[in-house]
Chains A and B, each alone.
Chain A
Amino acid sequence: MKHFVIVLLGVILLTSCATFQERTLSQVKEDLDCIKYKEGINWGQISEKFSDPDIAPLPEHGTDLIRNTRVYKDKVIIFYTEMQEVKEMEKVRFYEVVTNIEVCKEK
């Protein structure tokens, strides 16, 4: 009986803790330093904020040396989503689509 009560109290405590994790985006971002993606953003802004990339891959075979990619490990990505209305066989349906991306590092 004693063990049962301890386990029950433990479960109640754990489930209660779940509600403490609710945070809004602005609360989450208090610990982060972010940059919002938009097409044409200057690379200098990225490298200034995140310093040198962890990996600088060679271009794929058959592509162009001036089209490059840079890889950062352990960065935080924030996706902004919205509903988008579509028609599927004359019926209205909705998908979640990404409308914005932010890449962040921990402060």
Chain B
Amino acid sequence: MLSLDEFLEKSKDNIKIYKNFRLQADRDITSRLTICIPDMHLLERGHNDDFLDNKPEHEERFLSLFDFLFNLRREEGDGLEVIQLGDMFDLWQAKGNTNLIVEAYPSIIGLLEKIKTVYVVGNHDIDLVRWYKDKGETFGRNWRYYSIIEGKLRAIYEHGFQADFANNQESWTGAIGKEISRIVGMMEYIYPDIDVLLGFIWDSIVRAFSKYNVFTPVKDPQGFDPHEYLNFYINLMEKYNNGRTLDRYGPDDIDLTLAVIGHTHLARLVKMPKNGRIYYLMDWGSWVNGGHEIGIISGKDMAICQWDS
């Protein structure tokens, strides 16, 4: 397995660690070099296509990353794993489902397939799983994915909407969030950056209410919250580690220490001790809206980087 430093060395000047987001865990997390691609929001190259953002160099940058990963895959074989962490397609705004997006980006989708990318669904492409739920067809999409070391789950990969009140697609609040996103998508034809602007405003409101909500006690009197989903994911990992889960894994199969998510479009790497052990939350940010982040995990090492070329 290629180490994180070896990977960075191979990437030469194309990559840099983002905001010193690099940590070493207290135990191995992956047995393979794991590269994670966050939210892409591919559309049909129109004005509301956040992936392209009317800048051809954005597509070139992604292709240069995948040219590099394609060559690395040939060298490393199964020692390299690539995970796309959801919202690869933005089906909330798509004109023709995935069909016309594939037409718009054949090389990007072809290269993702070629290097055997693992796909996790996000709230914007969860319908890929929903449409054919009864027939068991998921188009290779996973609800979540795990890294396993010596037979034990060590890392959980999920899009992150599951922790988001306004985007949890299993609740009525998520349905409202979806409709609002569609309306914002239409507004992008008039003002392309309206989604970014409204996103910042929404984040400010949520942040203010999470600290000063009169209906709940003040959770964080210091006024610093390293990640709004931190408690959700640490509680989830603790629950799994204690065997309180309905899925096929028993307590002997689980030793979760890291949760990896996207969804917020805001990269962060957080560690938090709880009940005698250390948990990590890695938010791999976004490939769109100015971000071009990727996450890298190798053994105990993890980092969030930006691909620049």
Complex contact B183–A11 (CB within 8 A): yes
Q: Does A73 contact B (CB under 8 A)?
A: no
Chain A residues in 8 Å Cβ range of B113: 83
Chain B 167-193 per-residue mask, 1 if CB under 8 angstroms from chain A, else 0: 000000000000100110010000000
Q: Does A60 contact B (CB under 8 A)?
A: no
Chain B residues in 8 Å Cβ range of A92: 67, 70, 110-111, 114
Complex contact B179–A94 (CB within 8 A): no
Residues of B101-143 whose CB lies within 8 A of A = 102-103, 106-107, 109-111, 113-114, 127, 131
Q: Does A85 contact B (CB under 8 A)?
A: yes
Q: A22-B97, A22-B131 are in contact. Are A94 and B182 (CB under 8 A)?
A: no
CB distance from B204 to the nearest CB of A (A): 23
Q: Does A91 contact B (CB under 8 A)?
A: yes
CA distance A96 to B30 in the complex (A): 36
Q: A22-B97, A22-B131 are in contact. Are A93 and B107 (CB under 8 A)?
A: yes
CA distance A92 to B107 in the complex (A): 8
User: Count of B residues near A, CB < 8 Å?
Assistant: 19
Complex contact B111–A94 (CB within 8 A): yes
- Contact-size category for A: 10 to 19
In this complex, the member of A16, A22, A81, A92 whose beta carbon has the largest number of chain B beta carbons within 10 angstroms is: A92
A15 partner, pick from B107, B131, B183, beta carbons under 8 A? B183
B106 partner, pick from A11, A19, A22, A94, beta carbons under 8 A? A94
Complex contact A11–B103 (CB within 8 A): no
Q: A22-B97, A91-B67, A94-B111 are in contact. Are A83 and B179 (CB under 8 A)?
A: no
What are 7 A-B interface contacts by the 8 Å CB criterion?
A: A11-B186, A12-B179, A15-B179, A15-B183, A83-B106, A83-B110, A91-B63
Apart from A11-B186, A93-B106, A94-B110, list 12 A-B contacts with CB within 8 A. Answer: A16-B179, A81-B103, A83-B106, A83-B110, A85-B110, A85-B114, A91-B63, A92-B70, A94-B107, A94-B109, A96-B102, A96-B106
Q: Which chain B residues have a beta carbon within 8 Å of chain A's beta carbons?
A: 63, 67, 70, 97, 102-103, 106-107, 109-111, 113-114, 127, 131, 179, 182-183, 186
